[in-house]
Structure formats: structure tokens, C-alpha cells
Amino acid sequence: MEFRFEEVEKRHGANIILQRLTLRFPAGGVSAILGESGAGKSTLLRLLLGLDWPERGQVLIDGVALQPARRLAVRRQIGYVIQEGGLFPHLTALGNLALLPRYLGWSGERIRARAAELAELMALPAALLMRFPAELSGGQRQRVAVMRALMSDPPALLLDEPLGALDPLVRDELQQRLAALFRSLAKTVLIVTHDLAEAAVLADRLLLLHQGRIVQDGPARQWLEQPADDFVRRFVAAQRGGLAEALAGMAARADGRAHPGAPDARAR
């Protein structure tokens, strides 16, 4: 599924959130959108889901402009995961997974089979599916949230700070699992995060949103080597070396040997 923003302008009252933004996310790519709080990262995702509408310009999905009449159909084609999962507390994990499929007319058998398949994919013990969200740990809840987004095997996945509320160990584990998942699924994935290292682990393409514009757009290494301006430089520096270590860690994992900190990265 391909996403395109054309001359999109979005305001909140007098505040301009997005300024004549033109942007394309080709099908199958994994991109991360970074920026400060309130930079409009989440707005970007909401515009794709028809949960918010631009003042000017248009959002195109697979080349077709998003219209209010089409929004329900589009939402069913896009999995959406928010921070802390947004699981419905009155339903069990399975109940949460079943909500949309049941509306779409799936049989109980088909729902259970798909849930079991996804539980294995996300390394979640199947017994936990009968629990209510309040009876699950934060990491387990987040896995269920991702599973819910994947139930109908949508061609695209939007994640808004999916790991933001997790403790470091769980977060690291889930990061690796998601990274592997994205690579294996070949879906269009957009991740909103303010953590540069996480973005580097999960995505091939990193975009920095600042004052309504995209100021940097490219792979993580490009951010280090060719920062577009001083803001990018400061944004990277503020991550306290996280990016360099993440890149080193990734390289190490890729090479299958220890590689603590590349010299060029340490220079930053």
C-alpha cells in the first residue's frame, strides 16, 4: 500500500502543524517519523486513517484521494497501534482481536486460528489470550495490540510510539521482534517515535519533522554523516550517543560478531 501526501496543510487553530507537506511512502517500505513532542508526527498517521482531515491538499492511498465516504474501508486496510496499546479493558485479549473480524463475518474458528498464528509470531503464550488487558504485563499488552492490528493481514501498519511505555529490557526484546517482523511481512510500515535509536533499529528510512516540514529524510547513517541543518545535528546529539550505539549494535548483529562502537560514530 502506497501513501502520498500532496501539499498537505494542517492547522490547530492558529498553529500550523503541517506546512504544504508533499511526501511519498512507497509500498513495502518501513519508515520512522521523528520529531519533538507536538511536531505533528501523530497527526500524520491520523490523516492517513481519516481520523483527521487536512485544511488543504490531499492524502492519497494507492493513488486514490482519501474521502470521508471511504474512510471505514481504508481503516480496515491499515493496522494501527498506539502507545499502551489502546486495548479495550472490557474484552479479553481474544475479544480485542475478534472485534473487527467478527464484524467482517469471520467464523469463530477462523478467528481463533488466526489469533493462534499471530500469538506464535509474537511469541505470546496462547493461554494469555483468555486474559483481560488488566491481567497482562505492559509488554504482553503491546504484543496483543500489534496482533489486533495484524488480524486481517492488512497491507499497511501504522504504529504511534508503540514501545514508549515499556521498561528497557522488554522494550529491547520487542524492538528486535518487531524489526524481524517488518522485514518478513513486506508491509508498508510507518512508525512514529521520538527515539532515534529505536527508529534506526526498526526502519530503513528516517524522517525528521520540524516546524511543519520534513528537514531530514534518509537512512540513519545519512543523519550522522550529512545532517541537513543544525536542528538535525542537535536532535542527534540530544540522543546521547544512542544512535551511534544502535547502529553499532545493528552492525554487530548483522556481522554476527561484537563491534562496540564504530570509530566514525564515536566522533559525534
Decide if residue 103 touches another protein (CB under 8 A): yes
Nearer CB in complex with another protein: 89/260: 89
Residue with cell 518487531: 178
Cα torsion 112, 113, 117, 122 to 10°: value is: 0
Contact pattern from residue 52 through residue 81 relative to another protein, giving x for each residue in contact according to CB under 8 A and a dash for the rest = --------------------xxxxxxx-x-
Residue in 7, 55, 135, 225 binding another protein, rule: CB under 8 A: 135
Output phi, psi for 194, to 5 deg.
-110, 5
Decide if 53 contacts 47 (C-beta within 8 A): yes
Decide if residue 142 touches another protein (CB under 8 A): no
Residue in 16, 60, 91, 185 binding another protein, rule: CB under 8 A: 91
Output phi, psi for 153, to 5 deg.
50, 55
Residue in 1, 33, 34, 87 binding another protein, rule: CB under 8 A: 87
Q: Could you tell me the smallest distance in angstroms from the CB atom of residue 62 to another protein? A: 16
Q: Could you tell me the smallest distance in angstroms from the CB atom of residue 70 to another protein? A: 11
Grid coordinates of 189: 510500515
Nearer CB in complex with another protein: 164/218: 164
Coil, strand or helix at 90: coil
Decide if residue 121 touches another protein (CB under 8 A): no
Give the strand pairing for 213-218 and 205-210: antiparallel
With 0-12 CB in 10 A as exposed, 13-18 as middle and 19+ as buried, what is 30?
buried
**Phi-psi domain of 12 (left: phi exceeds 0; alpha: psi -120 through 50; beta: other):** beta
Per CB under 8 A, which of residues 31..50 are in contact with another protein?
49
* Run of H or E including 128: none
Nearer CB in complex with another protein: 75/259: 75
Residue in 90, 125, 230, 257 binding another protein, rule: CB under 8 A: 90
**Phi-psi domain of 262 (left: phi exceeds 0; alpha: psi -120 through 50; beta: other):** beta
Residue in 16, 28, 112, 132 binding another protein, rule: CB under 8 A: 132
Nearer CB in complex with another protein: 42/216: 42
Question: Which residues are near another protein by CB under 8 A?
Answer: 49, 51, 72-78, 80, 82-92, 99-100, 103, 132-135, 148, 165
